[in-house]
Structure 1
Amino acid sequence: MRRRTVPLTERRTREVKLPRADANFLLAHARHLIDVVPTFEPRTYRLTPRGYVGFLDGPTTRFVIGPKFPWPNVRMLLGLSAETGAASADPTVPDGGLLAVLATAFAERLEAVVRTGLVAGYGEAQTVSPFLRGKLRTADQMRDAAARAFPDQFHIDEPVFDLHTPWNRVPKATAGALLRHDLPAAIRRRVEAAVSPLAVLPDGRLGEADLAAALAEPRAASYRPLLDLCRLLLDGLACADPLGAGSGAFLVDLGRAFEWYLTDSLVRAFEPLSEWRVEAQPTFALGRVQFQPDILIRTNGVPRTVLDAKWKTATLDPTDLHQVLAYAALTGAERVALVYPGKFDERTHFTTPDGRVRVSVYRLRVTGPAEELARSVAKLARSVRKR
């Protein structure tokens, strides 16, 4: 079905005439993605995309959401600057769309992993053998014994060393999800060729535990850039699920992308300093409730600063302030910070009335050349280290 295309820009309002079916679709399924406000004009609505870029298919309309800042900086935010280069200040999505760009980057990273060498690992395989080895599957063996007086085979789980590992299953599943979507023919062929060395792995759905296990595996350190991109792609493709039967979508949450960019940048900034450690989303329990601040920075193992990334204008929101102050009480950190995106660097500091907690509000630069962005992160890291 050929759909009409409506271009939108993240966080910017546009008045659009929509068929009733598309308006009802947005109101029923996509309120968390696009804010829809009726106007006094018949079938005319004010559409304001929230913090996502990508596309979303309604019954007769495709809504394409572009970023409000230059596309090269979107790539840097998503960790793609090394692969794609470019100097255009055009904020619109490039030819082929965001999904095609990320699919190309996925093929490049998978090809690099294959060139380096796929990493096998130990696992368990279910098999039937005339010899007892490994671990006996008791229930299967008893069923066999009930069917035959003298079973001559053992149902066992035996250790194997092969490619059936989480860090190989994740790229295989990501490639399968990509190939189920509409990609330009050349990119489709490249993804198919890149994933062919993993053809021995079965197709299947992944759980969050598979991705967590893959990212935590030291033997798969060379896979990390590929796995990070798999996480981004799988999250974006999962946006199609809650939007209604037959709908298509690929949407990148820029809030999460900003959080990952900030975390990875600070990890690199503090890596040479042995007494400092950056933790991403550590878990703290309060009764039955679990809290996960975006970033916790420790000095010699002691909580020093909690940072919370906010993809919105740098207007101090009381709700955001309550959140980071709760993190201070929970972690024991003496400093908390809210980090917002911006076109230039800015920082403000103040303390709570009892003088126990210092609160900082940072604006981190996300537009401009890569060198300027790196300097902005370095300034933030120096400010965090100050006594």
Structure 2
Amino acid sequence: MTDAAPPVRLREGDDWSEWQLTPEQIVALDDSEHVQVRPSRRSGWCRLKARDRVGAARVGRGSAQVRLSVKPKVTVDRLLYLLGYAEEKWLYDGGPVEAATRTDLLPAVARAYTRAAQRALRQGVLLGYRETEATQPVLRGRLRTAAQMSRRPGLVLPLEVAYDEHTADIPENQLLLGAARRLLRVPGVDGPQRTALHALAARLDGVVPPVPGAPLPRWRRDRLNVRYHRPLALAELILGGASYELEDGRSVTVDGVMFRMWQVYEAFLARALGEALTRRAGGMYKAQDRDHFLATPRKYVLEPDLVHYLPLASGGRRAAAVVDAKYKRGFQRDDLYQMLAYCVRLGLTDGHLVYAAGRANVVRVPVVDSEVRLHRHVLDLSRPRRELEQSIEDLAQAVLEPRT
């Protein structure tokens, strides 16, 4: 498979680099918001820097098209572990990632997805019931009385009916097919992996994939679709990484898959640390908790990444710890103000900010007759998986027993 579009290969966190591109290609990259774009002193060149996304996509159309690739700072197998923990722990199975895919994210994601989907389909394609409305010469299902009277007043036939159809065209299969087709369009996924994805799509013949840019089909977890849970978690990540809502409210669709690393980090930390806290102290946790407001009545919603709750003897529950993930290189004062608001509103004397880089410390904020301690922790994502898991356990211990 050939591709005339020029490749632009960046790395998350790297400094500015210069690329020779046409004015149309530069505009396409700037409009995509995947990268930062600045002019260069050299004619026909521009300076590029990756934003907060990793992955691969074709940006632009026609002669303006560019093949963009943003490599994550962490290794591919580590990112797969973060993605899997954020959605379904099955994704990282502890086995080695082949050297051929270790440095390229999307082929690794495609391989993980294909393997999971193939396992799910070993017992056959899942069938389900879907309500269908149709015009029939005989009664099937139930008569749609209102439609019959408005469309054919006084006529006996044909009939406007609604019935449940046993079909493969259900949300679960629509998501599987949509993810397979999306990966087939990603730059860098070719050879045997493309063959496997084509075979997967052929298994889902008769299924209508999701419309690009439209809301994804909704499905419910139950005992009938349990074998689909694993590939569906990754399918939603893949399809979710193919569309974005920009700051000005516009929705865009990309020809590829890009992951926002700060979202991956927040989801991973909330689930991994939340589970560690409940194992150690009991209670429950809520990720992206929107139950609290800065002012009354219910004004200015607060949304900490993690709140750990403990039960009260009188019933109900109380907030015992609040944590916010910060996928940043350095500390910012706004982070402290945000965490202070969380602590004051939740009635806590300790708040925890967990950064992906930097140095740990504690900021003490005087309040009436007391103080609030804002703990700044660092979680090194580049550490081996077992060490990273131990870091989560150590972090849970620090949250439960803050240093005074």
- After TM superposition, is the score higher than 0.5? yes
- 1:175 matched to 2:180: yes
In structure 2, the residue corresponding to 1:365 is in which secondary structure? Answer: coil
Determine the C-alpha separation between the residues in 2 that align with 1:334 and 1:155. 64
For residues 228 and 273 of structure 2, what CA distance do their matches in structure 1 show? 21
Change (3 A) 1:267 1:306: closer
Shift of 1:277: 1.5
Residue equivalent to 2:132: 125
SS at match of 1:76: helix
2:310 is matched with which residue?
299
Contact 1:239 1:249 (C-alpha < 8 Å) held by counterparts: no
Please tell me whether the aligned partners of residues 243 and 251 of structure 2 are also in contact (alpha carbons under 8 angstroms).
no
* Aligned counterpart in structure 1 of residue 288 of structure 2, from 281, 288, 300: 281
User: Which residue matches 1:257?
Assistant: 264
- Aligned partners of 2:275 and 2:252: how far apart in 1? 41
What's the counterpart of residue 310 of structure 1? 326
Match of 1:353 in 2: 366
What is residue 370 of structure 1 aligned with on the other side?
385
* Deviation at residue 113 of structure 1 after TM alignment: 1.7
Q: Name the CA distance, whole Å, in 2 between partners of 1:113 and 1:137.
A: 37
CA distance in 1, matches of 2:397, 2:135: 61
1:35 and 2:36 correspond:
yes
Instruction: State the partner residue of 2:230.
Output: 225
Contact kept in structure 2, 1:33 and 1:50, CA below 8 Å: yes
Q: Report deviation, 1:302.
A: 1.9
Where 1:353 maps in the other structure, the secondary structure is strand
Match for residue 328 of structure 1 among 339, 343, 358:
343
Of Structure 1 and Structure 2, the greater helix share is in 1
**Equivalent residues of 1:334, 1:358 under 8 A apart:** yes
| 1:20-64 CA-partner distances (Å, limit 9, x unpaired) | 33333333x04x432223344444443221222223435264332
Query: Percent same amino acid among aligned pairs?
Result: 23
In structure 1, how many angstroms separate the alpha carbons of the residues matched to 2:117 and 2:36? 37
CA distance in 1, matches of 2:327, 2:8: 24
- The alpha carbon displacement at 1:293 in A equals 2.5
SS of the equivalent of 2:209 reads coil
Instruction: Write out aligned runs for 1:140-159 (5 A).
Output: 140-146=147-153, 149-152=154-157, 154-159=159-164
Contact 2:54/2:72 (<8 A) preserved: yes
Any idea what SS the aligned residue of 2:122 has?
Answer: helix
Identify which range, 271-280 or 366-375, moves more after superposition: 271-280
Q: Evaluate the alpha carbon distance shift between residue 44 and residue 210 of structure 1 in structure 2; reply closer, same or farther with a 3 A threshold.
A: closer
**Residues 337 and 110 (structure 1 numbering): CA distance in 2 closer, same or farther, change over 3 Å?**
same
| Residue 82 of structure 2: aligned partner | 77
Q: In structure 2, what is the Cα distance between the partners aligned to 1:273 and 1:221?
A: 29
What residue number does 1:54 align with? 55
**Aligned partner of residue 201 in structure 1, secondary structure:** coil
Query: 1:289, 1:163 → 2: CA distance?
Result: 44
The answer on whether the counterparts of 2:175 and 2:209 sit within 8 Å (CA) in structure 1 is no
- Asked whether the equivalents of residues 239 and 257 of structure 2 are also in contact (C-alpha less than 8 Å), the reply is no
CA distance in 1, matches of 2:355, 2:148: 60
- How has the CA–CA distance of structure 1 residues 208 and 83 changed in structure 2, closer, same or farther, with 3 Å as cutoff? farther
Give the C-alpha shift of residue 364 in structure 1. 1.0
Whether contact under 8 Å (1:284, 1:331) holds in the other structure is no
Amino acid at match of 1:23: I
1:188 equivalenced with 2:194 (yes/no): yes
**Residue 87 (structure 2) aligns with:** none
Give secondary structure in 1 for the equivalent of 2:152.
helix
Where 2:382 maps in the other structure, the secondary structure is coil
Output one character per residue of 1:276-304: Cα deviation in whole Å (capped at 9) or x when no partner. Answer: 21222232365565443222221223222
Helix, strand or coil for the counterpart of 1:6? Answer: strand
- Asked if residue 16 in structure 1 is aligned to residue 18 in structure 2, the reply is yes
Q: Is the contact between residue 66 and residue 93 of structure 1 (CA under 8 Å) also seen in structure 2?
A: no
* Map of 2:121 onto structure 1: 114
Gaps of 5+ in 2: 85-90, 312-316
Contact 1:308 1:338 (C-alpha < 8 Å) held by counterparts: yes
- From the superposition, tell whether residues 208 and 361 of structure 1 become closer, same or farther in structure 2 (CA, over 3 Å): farther
Q: Which residue of structure 2 lines up, in the alignment, with residue 266 of structure 1?
A: 273
Tell me if the contact between 2:50 and 2:70 (Cα under 8 Å) persists in the aligned partners. yes
Post-superposition shift, 1:127?
4.2
Distance 2:284 2:212 in 1: 31
Q: Could you tell me how far 1:16 is from its partner in structure 2?
A: 0.9
What RMSD in Å do the two structures reach over aligned CA positions? 3.6
Secondary structure, in 3 states, of the residue corresponding to 1:55?
A: strand
CA contact (8 A) 1:72 1:87 kept: no
**Matched letter for residue 352 of structure 1:** V
